[in-house]
Structure 1
Amino acid sequence: MPTLDITDDQADRIEALREELAAAHAGPYASVDREDAVAYLLDLAAAVDDPDRLAEPTAGGDESRGDAADASDGPEADEPFDRERARELLSARNRRHTDPDPDDPMDLSDIASAFDVTGRSGMTKAELVDAIVDAAERLAADPFARVDIELDDETGDGTESAESETEPAETKSDEADPENASDDADDGEGDGEDDDDDGEDDAGDDGTGQLNAMMSLLDTHADKWREGDGDARYEVDLPDGSVETARTKDDVRALLFRNY
């Protein structure tokens, strides 16, 4: 192996760097020697000419891990669904049906109404599609944004719930026990409506599941609407026990989406 003469001061600096690298990356079952410290310095020098290169040791010499980590941290990693796929599906819809048929799929105007998009009448089709996608993303990130429900571990005044802090360990252990969880499931009260709601939540986890679930609301909540007996073409049962009329099936979908 070729040798390289260095001064005592340079040797001390390399040793200090070696100790720093060992403390940061080696752990209890690995070591960092002076050759590793020199290799680290060479990587830093290369990074000056190639800013995208990371002068950082990788476990097991697998340089591809750094690239994979960078890819996972991209802007699309935090998106709740595939925005481009959603845009594609929405762009295929008509802006508004001139003579709507009850069996026609929802048009963009009705979808925007279901998502409470404001100012939609003055938008172009492209702007309307983007506004719907943005509204769907906000709803997917915080499904209870329109009501006073906060899905966190803190109370409204920013303090943690005293009940959760004082909950006995035995209770938490029982909840984690699969047998107890099964008993709770047998004792719990539920009906088809709860199952339908859970199905919609599960569908919203994939790329366009939320939009697909909205399109199938008529089948999902078939027990909540029916053809009207009077002048109204359709009737929809609301959660508060009242009944609202609808002119088209698109109107029925919009009512079901808002209330269920």
Structure 2
Amino acid sequence: MPDVSLTDDQFERLSQLRGKLASETQAGPYASVNLSDTIEYLLDLSETTDGETLLNSAPTPDGPDSNTPDAVASGVDPAPEQSETDTSGGADMFNLLETHVDKWRESDGQERYEVDLPDGGVKTARTRDDVKAVLFQSYR
């Protein structure tokens, strides 16, 4: 995993966000949120439903300090699975989100996404990877 260098102020902001995320979990005192979870949260937050990043439409930061946690997080391709194609017929496995676009959506609740289950129920998911896992388990 590549290293990311942060200033002391950036690290403090990231630590504060980490603490906020840990306090908002439903697991109570047994939950832990590490820095990689916090960065994953920022990456998920930067994605929109059509796979574009919010930073494509956001103004660029003024000044030399464009190395904020949001900017660092945006430097990573948010959807690498879209560039992977397989002509042998297995491409739909890499494109679960596109294949089942009518079965998942963003949520207004505490969890970021909702997935419609075959039995008529709804399962919530925190990240797009979680959505893919539910889709794979339910619709393979």
TM-score band w.r.t. shorter chain: 0.3 to 0.5
Give the structure-1-normalised TM-score: 0.23
Give the structure-2-normalised TM-score: 0.40
Name the structure with the higher helix share: 1
